[in-house]
Structure 1
Amino acid sequence: MWAAATGIFLFSWGPIFVRDNEFGALPFAFWRLFGATAWSVAALHLRGGRLDRRVLRHSLAGGVVFTVNAATFFTAIKTTSVANAMIIGSTAPIFLLWAASRVFGEQISYRVKLATPVAIAGMILVLLGRPDSTGGGSLGGDLLAVVAVLSFAGYLVASRVARNHLSALEYQAGWSAISTAMMLPIALLSFDPLVIADGWSWGVAATMAVTAGLAHLMVNYSHRHVSLRAITLMNMVAPALAVLWAWFLFDEQLGGWQWLGVPLVVVSVLSVVLDE
């Protein structure tokens, strides 16, 4: 539970790192994945493991769907507001709770059934309560965020299946290597340069590679010990926190309803965590 909570807390900083640099969305996604692949593969070899055919085979599904997620989510963050992208992303529980019940046979308690619509209502308040004066939203960016949330839900499901065959570090190295290889041609075909002369942006990319990589490692570790329904609901805290970070760092002002929506999400998720 602590691993999942820490990983999700680190997830909440992702949109801030994506926004606060001069890279284009797709080159930044590539370098973030490249850095995460470098340290995870190195750590795997130091522990006596290998990035072999078995690891890559079981990591393939997760790597493919995460590539879709990274390409669409990073672009959405650059083209719409942090609030819009993250709040749209918070609808993942709709799909993941279905997967937890139907695919993995998890029993959904009444507390989870009650907490889910309350948390989603809180997310809607955060989205609709955003002041018009802040600007920054776009329909295209919002649609990319919808694709991102579907692919992220697929990534979590694929990760849970992969963890039946691989250790957390093996899976981290496998899916990130696959995603890096797939993201390179996508980044090269974008209209943005792959290499830029901006030290701050390189520092941000390196920080994102470490923090996001650790976030994925911890959440994937928790898959063997924590139910998917708990991880799903805990993940809803990340959008709420991201909205607060955007307010604090980028002056994305919060409307009155948003101040109600964020606590609704947090309290709902805490109730599920305590239930677990």
Structure 2
Amino acid sequence: MTNRAPRGALVAMAVGAALISTSAVFVKWTSVGPTASAFWRMGLAGILLLAWLARPKVRAGWKPSRRVLGLLLAAAVFFAIDLWMWHRSILYVGVGLATLLGNFQVFALAGYGALVLGERGGWRLWAGLLLALAGLALLLAPGWSGFDARFRLGIAFGLGTAVAYGAFLIAFRAGQAQRGSLSNEAMLWWLCLFSATLLLGMTLLGDEKLRPAGAADWGALLAYALIAQVFGWLVIGRVMPKLQAGVLGLCLLLQPLLSYVWDWLLFDAHLGAVELCGLGLSLAGIFLGLARAQSTREAGDGAEAKAAPEVGLRSGAPADGHRD
């Protein structure tokens, strides 16, 4: 790849990240419960993908091996937990902050790399972590004494979803590495099937409202499934490997940044000068972590073991590994 990012890939990544940044908005717009909206996201996406997989050219490579099926099931468990926590964080603390907290998954993955794979973090990771934590402190400290228990629980859920999403990425990437002729679309369909089944059970156990109330609910849920799941995974997942680490990191930052824009435009959320400074520091820290993770992956391309797990958009996708 040349030093300059392909213009088409760069535009596609930027547009895709902007669209995916609206994901949390749809969670707030629907009247169903937080787990129920996660179920509809995965269930509707599975239906849309099934139509894609029914095409003769795609139909052949859809059945995974037992090992890959097990890894996809493990990934689905972590992803269901991730969505369960993230949707509650969105409702408790708002679209912008919940999305920013979820993007701390880059540091959860770095912890896995250090503890399990024996990787060295490097200065980018440590500087990024310190910046992100300092920024988060500035975002929360001014109003912390006035936050109620529900808001503080939302912060915990937001950080928890970063850990769960990191675990999902590890399991899913392990499945990708062993998938053989299984297509990325088929992997996503199996993930949707397993996740939707788990989330349906969690919704019923939690006695949440499951049935959408009307056209507005159905519209929000369909848009959520199409943008966050189908579009995000199939389009952005294929573009990510074509971009260099620094460019990709900047594009990925559009998601948490624009989520604050939607929070301000649609839900009247406001940040003061201190909070804005905190947001900037957190984004800078996440950027350093993303750039470090992508550089680690690029350096390990073609190696078997110690390549870091792929970092994906908070509600988007790990790359599919193709460089077509």
Instruction: Give the TM-score, by structure 2 length.
Output: 0.70
SS in structure 1 at match of 2:54? helix
Matching of residue 28 in structure 1 with residue 44 in structure 2: no
Q: Which residue of 1 aligns with 2:89?
A: 76
Bigger mean CA offset, 144-153 vs 232-241:
232-241
Bigger mean CA offset, 133-142 vs 114-123:
133-142
User: Are the equivalent residues in 1 in contact too, given 2:20–2:228 (CA < 8 A)?
Assistant: yes
Summarize the Cα distance change of 1:273–1:80 in structure 2 as closer, same or farther, 3 Å threshold: closer
Shift of residue 138 of structure 1? 2.2
Q: Which amino acid aligns with 2:78?
A: V
SS in structure 1 at match of 2:59? coil
Q: Which residue of 1 aligns with 2:196?
A: 180
Q: Which residue of 2 aligns with 1:241?
A: 258
| Structure 2 residue corresponding to 1:170, chosen from 173, 186, 194 | 186
Shift of residue 116 of structure 1? 3.6
1:124-179 CA-to-partner distances (Å, cap 9, x unmatched) read 32333569899895233333333322211111212221221234322211211110
User: Are the equivalent residues in 2 in contact too, given 1:80–1:136 (CA < 8 A)?
Assistant: no
| Structure 2 residue corresponding to 1:118, chosen from 128, 131, 144 | 131
Q: Which residue of 2 aligns with 1:197?
A: 213
| Structure 1 residue corresponding to 2:172, chosen from 136, 159, 171 | 159
Summarize the Cα distance change of 1:125–1:215 in structure 2 as closer, same or farther, 3 Å threshold: farther
| Structure 2 residue corresponding to 1:66, chosen from 79, 84, 109 | 79
1:41-81 CA-to-partner distances (Å, cap 9, x unmatched) read 33233222454352533411211110111122112322333
Distance 1:180 1:12 in 2: 22
Distance 2:112 2:249 in 1: 10
Summarize the Cα distance change of 1:219–1:158 in structure 2 as closer, same or farther, 3 Å threshold: farther
SS in structure 2 at match of 1:40? helix
* Larger CA Rg, structure 1 vs 2: 2
Shift of residue 182 of structure 1? 1.1
Summarize the Cα distance change of 1:83–1:160 in structure 2 as closer, same or farther, 3 Å threshold: same
Per chain length, whose mean CA-contact separation is higher, i.e. which structure has more relative contact order (CA < 8 Å, sep 6+)? 1
Alignment of structure 1 residues 22-61 onto 2, 5 Å: 22-46=31-55, 47-54=58-65, 56-61=69-74
Distance 1:207 1:59 in 2: 25
Q: Which residue of 1 aligns with 2:232?
A: 215
Name structure 1 gaps, 5 residues minimum.
none
Report % sequence identity: 23
Shift of residue 249 of structure 1? 1.2
Distance 2:155 2:50 in 1: 34
Summarize the Cα distance change of 1:162–1:127 in structure 2 as closer, same or farther, 3 Å threshold: farther
User: Are the equivalent residues in 2 in contact too, given 1:159–1:220 (CA < 8 A)?
Assistant: no
Summarize the Cα distance change of 1:156–1:172 in structure 2 as closer, same or farther, 3 Å threshold: same
Distance 2:137 2:25 in 1: 21
SS in structure 2 at match of 1:196? coil
Q: Which residue of 1 aligns with 2:275?
A: 258
1:204-230 CA-to-partner distances (Å, cap 9, x unmatched) read 100000111122345654687789999
Bigger mean CA offset, 131-140 vs 23-32:
131-140
Bigger mean CA offset, 51-60 vs 124-133:
124-133
User: Are the equivalent residues in 2 in contact too, given 1:168–1:221 (CA < 8 A)?
Assistant: no
Summarize the Cα distance change of 1:7–1:259 in structure 2 as closer, same or farther, 3 Å threshold: same
Aligned residues: CA RMSD: 3.7
Instruction: Give the TM-score, by structure 1 length.
Output: 0.81
Shift of residue 104 of structure 1? 5.5
Give the length in aligned residue pairs: 276
Name structure 2 gaps, 5 residues minimum.
1-8, 296-324
Q: Which amino acid aligns with 1:243?
A: Y
User: Are the equivalent residues in 2 in contact too, given 1:88–1:149 (CA < 8 A)?
Assistant: yes
Distance 1:194 1:89 in 2: 25
Bigger mean CA offset, 126-135 vs 42-51:
126-135
| Structure 2 residue corresponding to 1:89, chosen from 81, 95, 102 | 102
Bigger mean CA offset, 234-243 vs 191-200:
234-243
